[in-house]
Structure 1
Amino acid sequence: MLGIYDTGISAIGQKANNYFFSNKGEYNYIKSSDNILIPSIINALNEKRNKKIIFVHLIGSHADHCERTQGEYDEFYLNKDMSCYIQSIKNTDHLLSKIIDIANKENKKWSMMYFSDHGVSFYNEELKDKKLTHGDKYKQNYQVPFFIASYDSNERRYINSFRSGFDFLSIFSEWIGVSEPRIKNNCNYLSNDHCGDDIKVIDFDNEIKDYNSLPDEVIND
């Protein structure tokens, strides 16, 4: 993938032992479904290695939302764009379920971490024209879905303590069970332990902001 926000990530991806890019241009250059990644995921799962880590970067619910779903949706909600957005979330759920089913059929011992890179904001005042776009002004822009599942999960546990993207290396290293001197490990991030009130985020201008100083987005009916 090429583009101001894509090239750097693609360069990191090319450092993997094996890699596959479904798109040779910017993220919206090809209007394909994330399901195109399934064959490559199967190949990666079947590769003969005792231990491996597989990164899957999805287009997910990025705008244009109806391009993500080929203009199709199961239920109408407010307007066409919102309906496609809700459908794109459902499609991602189905894709993750497929990956889990494939791993289980191969009798793999697996663990999956999923998260989104950002939240969204409403724009357009009229209810029938409301749409969602990437924003950086509200708390909700930084509140993202994040979960971990595994082959031997037997309960659902919620973590309500706040974590920031600045904590990700600590979270990731805790998840895979490794340590590195430069990564802080002074808190159990995969728990409800309170890991501090100093929650920082980065806005569109690459400036660090205090999350708690941001307002909540008010949704007018």
Structure 2
Amino acid sequence: MKKQENEMFDIEKGFSMAANWWADPMVLGKAPEYMDEILTGEELKFISQPLDYFGYNVYFANNYSADANAPDLGWAGMPRTQMGWAITPEVLYWLPKFLYERYSLPILITENGMSNLDFVMRDGKVHDPQRIDYMYRYLSALHRAMEEGIPVIGYTVWSIMDNFEWAEGCDPRFGLIYVDYRTLERIPKDSFYWYRRVIQNGGLED
């Protein structure tokens, strides 16, 4: 990495935009160095309370974004979801490891999934092989972390069905179940049946 990129990217400040600017005070009872003048000792004492686990929503690695605080490691034509988010399965290996090493709490993945260009096809079904491949890769990475001793207590796919997505409205489809917003008809996608087998089998099977 070039010197200029090294100066531009600071692991603490880069990661702060994702987790430790709020998690350090909450879990460790101390503020990152660059927040010392923001939080008082009394506030830190109030914020920091015993926790049973660390829950985190995760979709992609931040250094694959256009964030000016980090070198963009993306490349032309790299795989992305319908939302334009980079597909980086390795984030479900490295992030649980980092969070556990930093906070010593069991890890719960509270959200993970992808928006996809889903529609009802001629056979009346919704085929979403990209989502199945996405979930397989991300779950494989998470399983790798678990095999190395990271205590992962759960994984929640986002989402069970297509829904209203914040400022994006109803266009992004994250669901395992397709929703026709005109009639409210619900059609389980291929990924729904695939993930049901994953749950029934207690994990991934090739």
Q: TM-score, normalised by structure 2?
A: 0.36
Task: Determine which structure has greater relative contact order: mean sequence separation of CA pairs < 8 Å that are 6+ residues apart, divided by chain length.
Answer: 2
If each structure's helix is expressed as a fraction of its own residues, which one has the higher value? Answer: 2
Q: TM-score, normalised by structure 1?
A: 0.34
